[in-house]
Amino acid sequence: MINQNSTKTSLWIAALLIAVPTTLDAADKEVQAAAGNGISAWTQSFKAGYVDARGHYAGGSEILHLEGHKGKLYAANSYWMEPSNIWYGGKDPKTPWSQILRLDRPNGKWQVDLELGPNNLRAENLKSVTFETDGAGNSLERPVTLLIATAYSPNPQGADIYVFVRDDDAGTWEKTVLISGTGESGENNSTRCMTVYRDRVTGVDRLFLPVGLLGIFTGVYDADVPGKVRWDKTPETGRLDKRSLAIVEANDSLVYSSGTKIYRRNDGPSPTHSMIFDASQLSKGPVASPVGGVRGLSVIPNPEGLSESLLFVWAPDSKSRSCVVRLDQDETGKYLHTKEECVADLMSEYLSGNPVYYALAGYNQILPVLHPTTKEPAYLMGFECWVGGRQFSCWQGNDRGGFYAGAMYAIRDKNAQYWLNEVNGPATVEKKPLQSVRTYEVSPFESEKGKVIYFGGFVADHGPSPNTAWVYKTSIENALRKDAPRPVRLTPEQSKAQLAALRQPYRFEYRKKPAFTIQIPGEFARGNATGGNVFHAKKAFNTLSISVSQSEDPEQAARRYVEALKRAGNGTAKMLRQSETKLPNGTPAVEFVATWVTKQNAKQTTQALTACKDGHAVTVATHTWEVAPPDKRFFFTLDFE
């Protein structure tokens, strides 16, 4: 059992408490004071960066999930791209790692309920599930509701998959290992969704948990095993082509997504699985796994009233428009698709025609809410987007654009009409970027039930994100309003100042032979150099490394570097092209591109620059997944001293 009361506060947290304010700043007090003024108020419920009442540091770069459970609200955070984490430059390997936070009352302070422990960067899943039968289909004396979190912990064997189950009576969590050593890397271990579903033939309640490419694992309630879930040893589905981002019950069947495809489970003692829709017909080209394909798969009433329809976001690659698609069953049971709206187009209209080049929606399921006054249903989906021109407040980016700084969400009514709103009002240069809505939950508190909704988010993929996790709340009327104010364009001076502040490069200095400096873009979070590198850093889908070796010939050094990639990976590496060039000071150099495969079978593209000085070769390289091109624009800031 993991007893959170026994955890001691580390010394660095005590020091950090001096530097981090634990009270709301002036802007937050204004928002909170406005809460009594009716439906127009937003209140910040969680602001990362404080020590809670039991001495735990409550921080994080993202809020991934909000989940109501037995009258309380829980949140799953992440330390992805958080500079205090050891993967991104922190000093303590034991902390900080992902946490489950707990809110006991509407105006209370969030407390750390669970520390997932070292190497668990993100609590990928947090769900309150209810079992009504045991593994034989016998009815339980009373339904059992469990709060369950999942995470994957990378290691040389791929990753371990952990399941954490809360004991509500003791206020503790039990940790079990579902899989040890998956043999997969990155999001191929993802555990983004789960649900309990009753087999219509056997009558057994099962918990279904997709695990990356390995497939969907199932478990039944068993009070006598650790964590109270008895898991099958092998996945029911076999391997999946892409990780699953949603699993739901629709039309008396279990339905789930994997890349371009949506599948239905055919119940029985030996269940099978059938594809019911292939979204590859919606666009050309392959699906980039980190983006996902079918996202946010959810259930809504059929507009004809005959059955249930499916609603999802189609986001195949780095040029995604996040188009919302509805699937309706015809009289034969076949699903027919209707494209309703594209989030990128809605955002462009919201910004008075400003171009929007990318949108990513559907981080979790689309949330149904009921307007307290009109009793009309609405459906919410959060998103992030890249906007062009730097005419509006942005986070990260370049002179051509950036990620819109506000936390946007789309609203759909029962007639498939859409409009947009953003948490805490329009983004401005004065406000701290909220960047994206990832999750939302109607309040579980008795005094707020059916009246208040909580939002959480931030997407830390794109640069160092110190304590950027947030939770806001507002009335459902305010969340659904159609007359919310729109953002105002920046002045040229504001745009120029924001761009200068967003991505301040930092200087890496190497004092040994050969001495050199290089300007590293600010969105790369520095980590600890290993494997013979003298520098290591990360940003979304890009890893940056700098190495020094003995050589007087840059072409020879480039070939040796590709051989080193082969040894570092699974033995597969290939030089695609190389060309001679020179640094600004005239030093001879070689640019080259190589492809290789990691030991966990992840395909990588490496763009590199090698230059020689004083009998040594310096190689600056960025390594990337399929979703994003390697970042090389800073290579020629390399300067020998």
* 323 beta partners: 314, 342
255: pLDDT strictly greater than 80 = yes
* 455 beta partners: 440, 472
- Strands across the sheet containing 437-442: 42-47, 470-475, 452-457, 437-442
| b/e burial code for range 579-599 (CB count within 10 A of at least 16 → b) | eebebeeebbbbbbbbebbbe
The pair phi, psi for residue 340, each rounded to 5°, is -90, -60
The whole-angstrom separation of Cα 127 and Cα 248 is 13
The pair phi, psi for residue 533, each rounded to 5°, is -80, 155
pLDDT (0 to 100) of residue 26:
38
Determine how many CB atoms are found less than 10 A away from the CB of residue 414: 12
Share of the chain above pLDDT 90, in %: 78
601: pLDDT strictly greater than 80 = no
178-221: per-residue pLDDT in tens? 999 999 988 899 999 999 999 999 999 999 999 999 999 999 99
Name the pLDDT band for 284 (thresholds 50, 70, 90): confident
Range scoring the smallest mean pLDDT among 38-47, 403-412, 598-607, 624-633? 624-633
The better pLDDT of the pair 199, 501 is held by 199
The whole-angstrom separation of Cα 581 and Cα 610 is 10
pLDDT (0 to 100) of residue 461:
83
pLDDT (0 to 100) of residue 600:
67
The whole-angstrom separation of Cα 310 and Cα 255 is 9
One-character DSSP codes across 583-608: -TT--EEEEEEEEEE-TT--EEEEEE
The whole-angstrom separation of Cα 228 and Cα 398 is 50
* 257 beta partners: 262
4: pLDDT strictly greater than 70 = no
Contact 536, 524 (CB under 8 A): no
Determine how many CB atoms are found less than 10 A away from the CB of residue 94: 10
Q: Which CATH superfamily groups domain 505-640?
A: Mog1/PsbP, alpha/beta/alpha sandwich (3.40.1000.10)
594: pLDDT strictly greater than 90 = yes
Give the tokens for residue 327: 């699937």
Contact 593, 600 (CB under 8 A): no
Give the tokens for residue 168: 């509500």
Whole-number CA gyration radius for the chain: 25
pLDDT (0 to 100) of residue 32:
41
pLDDT (0 to 100) of residue 525:
84
Cis peptide before 464 (omega within 30 of 0): no
Chain position carrying tokens 């309990």: 196
pLDDT (0 to 100) of residue 14:
30
523-552: per-residue pLDDT in tens? 888 888 877 799 999 887 788 999 999 999
Give the tokens for residue 587: 């030093």
The whole-angstrom separation of Cα 221 and Cα 134 is 5
Q: In the 8-state DSSP scheme, what is residue 237?
A: S
The whole-angstrom separation of Cα 59 and Cα 78 is 9
Which amino acid is residue 359, in one-letter code? A
The whole-angstrom separation of Cα 361 and Cα 437 is 9
Which are the contacts of 241, defined by CB distance < 8 A and separation ≥ 6?
A: 213, 258, 259, 261
Contact 217, 235 (CB under 8 A): yes
The three-class DSSP label of residue 189 is: helix
The three-class DSSP label of residue 346 is: helix
Contact 300, 320 (CB under 8 A): no
Contact 281, 319 (CB under 8 A): no
Please give the mean pLDDT across all residues of the chain: 90
The whole-angstrom separation of Cα 255 and Cα 327 is 12
Give the tokens for residue 634: 């800073």
The three-class DSSP label of residue 235 is: coil
108: pLDDT strictly greater than 80 = yes
Nearest to 61 by CA among 460, 526, 395, 440: 460
Between vectors from CA 217 to CA 157 and to CA 265, what angle results, nearest 5°? 140
Helix, strand, coil percent values for the chain (each to nearest 5): 10, 45, 45
The whole-angstrom separation of Cα 76 and Cα 7 is 19
Chain position carrying tokens 């079990």: 176
pLDDT (0 to 100) of residue 144:
98
pLDDT (0 to 100) of residue 626:
63
Share of the chain above pLDDT 70, in %: 93
614: pLDDT strictly greater than 70 = yes
8: pLDDT strictly greater than 70 = no
- Strands across the sheet containing 172-180: 125-133, 139-155, 158-167, 172-180
Which are the contacts of 224, defined by CB distance < 8 A and separation ≥ 6?
A: none
Which amino acid is residue 637, in one-letter code? T
pLDDT (0 to 100) of residue 503:
64
pLDDT (0 to 100) of residue 544:
93
Give the tokens for residue 458: 């931030």
